[in-house]
Structure 1
Amino acid sequence: MQPEKQRRIGIMVTSLMGAGTEKTILTLAEALVREGALVDLYVLRDHRDYTPQAGVNCIWLKTSSNREARIRLKQSISEKGKDYYDLFVISNAKYYPVVPVTNKVCSVHITPTAWITDGPRWKFWSRARKIRNLRKKFAARPVIALSGGIRNDLVNNLKVLPENVRQIVNPFDLKAIRTAAESDGNLPEGRYIVSIASLNVRKRHADTIRALGCMQNTEVSLVLVGRGEDENNLRALVNEMGLQERVIFWGWDGNPYRLLKNAALSVLASEAEGSPRALIESLLVGTPAVATDCPSGPSEILIDELAPFLVPVGDVSALATAMDRALCEYPKIPAWIEKRFDSAEVAKYYLALSEEGVSKR
């Protein structure tokens, strides 16, 4: 009997900055290594908030522009040959055409049309043009959707063929998360709510701050973990509402899990997501969570007994009510969440894709 061939898998990510897509890709790479694969992780930009575990072969291309990234990525992979990798995962669709690999897929981490920014009203054609461009980007390409909402957007709005879309959820290293959650480190004083997300307008931290001001519970504080261009506006809102003593701008933290574990509640008020890591991580460490019903992801997680803690986007009153309720009573977090998002199980789906690629040669 022939020994099973060790699979070679290539993965491309723009950088290892501290954001959701980058964490997802790195977790996937590490899980595939633990499952016995040889993994090359091509990183386009030299931004390193995350440190890969041993076994992941990081190829730092250190590019400074999209044009340079396309050229260097293509050259680096071409040297190995188109069938060197059994599977190549591309986390940004615009680089798909330049990856010279036979079996390759786009990994889609956001709900594409939900992230379209409309132009001025007089540019009435702006949204339609952007949708046409997205359709071209994903046309006739095999893609991996990280949630049902992403899959539906690709199929229904961008007209991607259903047979070209595989739905594979975000991977989470359960052991690493729980170990990190129990580690020592600075914590806020007293009982607190935590929101872990970049400080940009789409995350709607302003709604969370306003909801805090509307809550019946006036003893709990709000800790915002992240950084971004909207921080000054958020600080101004906090001052305007007189909440300086109750809102803490924590900044970037390399280990947000201990903050999640020790929080009374986590909140996600986004207007658009893909498959929200912070929401899932909260539940994995046993912390109650409230989220908005944005496209997409939260409505696939906060279901059944957790459904009352899913509120409409932008409804500050409903958000405040759900936050108050969650602090008083919250259902037992269902066991299926852990089973569904375990990185070891998720890695097996990618290994199956690599087997399909080998069989087609």
Structure 2
Amino acid sequence: MTHILFLTDHLGGGGAPISILALANVLMARGCSVTILSLQDKVWHEPPEGADIHVLSFAYRGLWQKLRRYRLHARRLNVWLASQSRSFDLVVANSHYSHQVINRSCLADRAWLCIRTDPAADLMGSHRPRRLARLRHLYHGRKVLGISSGMLDSLRQLEIVPAQWRMIPNVIDAHAIQATMRVPVPYEDYIVYVGRLERRQKRYDRLFYAYKTSGVSQRLLVVGDGEIDEARALAVSLGISDRVIFLGKQANPYPYMHHARLLVLASDYEGFGRVIAESLVCGTPVVSTDCPSGPREILLGELAECLVPLDNGELLGRRMAELIEKPPVIRPAHYAAYTPEHIADQYLYLVNRDGEPPMAKE
């Protein structure tokens, strides 16, 4: 039996825990033993049956421990690994904190580091030299997975050269989504945004401006939590508050996606853009900013017309109106690359192979 270990910062909110649990479910169906180790005591999701879930949290005390928290947590990880009766054939660490910890542990040379946000996004704002040095320390000479090719391109542009690299996107279980998406919703003839309300990345300000300038008659449903009070105030200031409906986070967002005329994403950057692929599974067209790094890798072929350049809210609004008037036909081929079977094959490939050769400098 193949034994696989996933490390994660937590199993709380966000797309990463959902992706990890979906992947665990797929790999167990292929006969693998899967252990998930959360480095925070935050487990909000029901684990798949048969998965071995552990929590190995560490709460630092005082400044000395805070400055050494990654190394101290890595020591705790080493002790936990020594206590296990099995060895692991594949180790994958997900997200920033887990990468910091595992790079200081006995698994540093053999673990794959799965990057779920574009590395270039970490360089925004102040302290760029310090942030760049941190990225190089984390990923130069390591085994790196990217959930989109754009992430690996960002590493190359930053002259960070992994020892090995591979792109494996997130699992999107179309059968599971389609089994739950046909539940009726109390709204008709609307467009939808699904995701966290966060101005810095998700840019609901750009979304609202585009919606206002689009001239569409459909209401805008907002599914997600976050900066709801700030978003409400912005909708009022733009004079669209009577047409924007805030629904909060929904346990099952797929019916809202399936019954929508269109899903809109206005982000400055994405890791993968999971909601785009999920919307396609629901049969709903998407209009999105052409942000790094996932949307352009999902909206391919004729769907590339659904992408608009960053910082062009008026064009985003026009494209919304155009796609409502003449929507593209969504076919299974548009999301076939994310099927559980296809993604499981790529992870099992890592068990017996060394991934790709090092990335060459340009």
Q: Is 1:256 aligned to residue 257 of structure 2?
A: no
Question: Is the 8 Å Cα contact of residues 73 and 98 (structure 1) preserved in structure 2?
Answer: no
What is the aligned counterpart of 1:335 among 332, 341, 346?
332
For 1:201-220, what aligned pairs fall within 5 Å after superposition? Answer: 201=199, 202-218=201-217, 220=218
Q: Which residue of 1 aligns with 2:276?
A: 279
Question: Is the 8 Å Cα contact of residues 273 and 295 (structure 2) preserved in structure 1?
Answer: yes
Which whole-Å CA distance do the structure 2 matches of 1:253 and 1:133 have between them? 36
Which whole-Å CA distance do the structure 2 matches of 1:256 and 1:27 have between them? 17
Q: Which residue of 2 aligns with 1:16?
A: 11
Question: Is the 8 Å Cα contact of residues 192 and 264 (structure 2) preserved in structure 1?
Answer: yes
Which whole-Å CA distance do the structure 2 matches of 1:24 and 1:252 have between them? 18
Change (3 A) 1:73 1:171: same
Q: Which residue of 1 aligns with 2:110?
A: 103
1:198 maps to amino acid: R
Q: Which residue of 2 aligns with 1:73?
A: 77
Which whole-Å CA distance do the structure 2 matches of 1:277 and 1:141 have between them? 26
User: Per the alignment, in what secondary structure is the counterpart of residue 46 of structure 1?
Assistant: coil
Displacement of 1:279 in angstroms is 0.6
CA deviations on 1:11-35 (whole Å, 9 max, x unpaired) are 0111222311221111111111111
For 1:115-264, what aligned pairs fall within 5 Å after superposition? Answer: 115-119=122-126, 126-161=127-162, 164-182=164-182, 184=183, 187-201=185-199, 202-218=201-217, 220-228=218-226, 230-264=227-261
Displacement of 1:253 in angstroms is 1.3
Which whole-Å CA distance do the structure 2 matches of 1:212 and 1:324 have between them? 9
User: Per the alignment, in what secondary structure is the counterpart of residue 215 of structure 2?
Assistant: coil
Displacement of 1:62 in angstroms is 4.5
Which whole-Å CA distance do the structure 2 matches of 1:77 and 1:158 have between them? 33
Displacement of 1:249 in angstroms is 1.5
2:219 maps to amino acid: S
The number of residue pairs the alignment matches comes to 340
Displacement of 1:179 in angstroms is 1.2
Q: Which residue of 2 aligns with 1:90?
A: 93
Question: Is the 8 Å Cα contact of residues 78 and 100 (structure 1) preserved in structure 2?
Answer: no
CA deviations on 1:169-195 (whole Å, 9 max, x unpaired) are 11112221111213x36x342221111
Q: TM-score, normalised by structure 2?
A: 0.88
Question: Is the 8 Å Cα contact of residues 75 and 105 (structure 2) preserved in structure 1?
Answer: no
Question: Is the 8 Å Cα contact of residues 74 and 102 (structure 2) preserved in structure 1?
Answer: no
Percent of residue pairs identical:
30
Question: Is the 8 Å Cα contact of residues 188 and 259 (structure 2) preserved in structure 1?
Answer: no
Displacement of 1:37 in angstroms is 0.4
For structure 2, the residue ranges without an aligned partner over 5 or more in a row are: 61-68, 355-362
1:143 maps to amino acid: V
Greater CA drift, 301-310 or 288-297: 301-310
1:107 maps to amino acid: C
Q: Which residue of 1 aligns with 2:48?
A: 53
Which whole-Å CA distance do the structure 2 matches of 1:39 and 1:188 have between them? 40
RMSD between superposed Cα atoms in Å: 2.0
User: Per the alignment, in what secondary structure is the counterpart of residue 177 of structure 1?
Assistant: helix
Change (3 A) 1:315 1:216: same
Greater CA drift, 88-97 or 291-300: 88-97
Which whole-Å CA distance do the structure 2 matches of 1:293 and 1:137 have between them? 27
Displacement of 1:158 in angstroms is 4.0
Which whole-Å CA distance do the structure 2 matches of 1:91 and 1:71 have between them? 18
Change (3 A) 1:226 1:48: farther
Which whole-Å CA distance do the structure 2 matches of 1:244 and 1:279 have between them? 25
Change (3 A) 1:196 1:343: same
Which whole-Å CA distance do the structure 2 matches of 1:140 and 1:77 have between them? 23
Q: Which residue of 1 aligns with 2:292?
A: 295
Greater CA drift, 24-33 or 46-55: 46-55
1:296 maps to amino acid: S
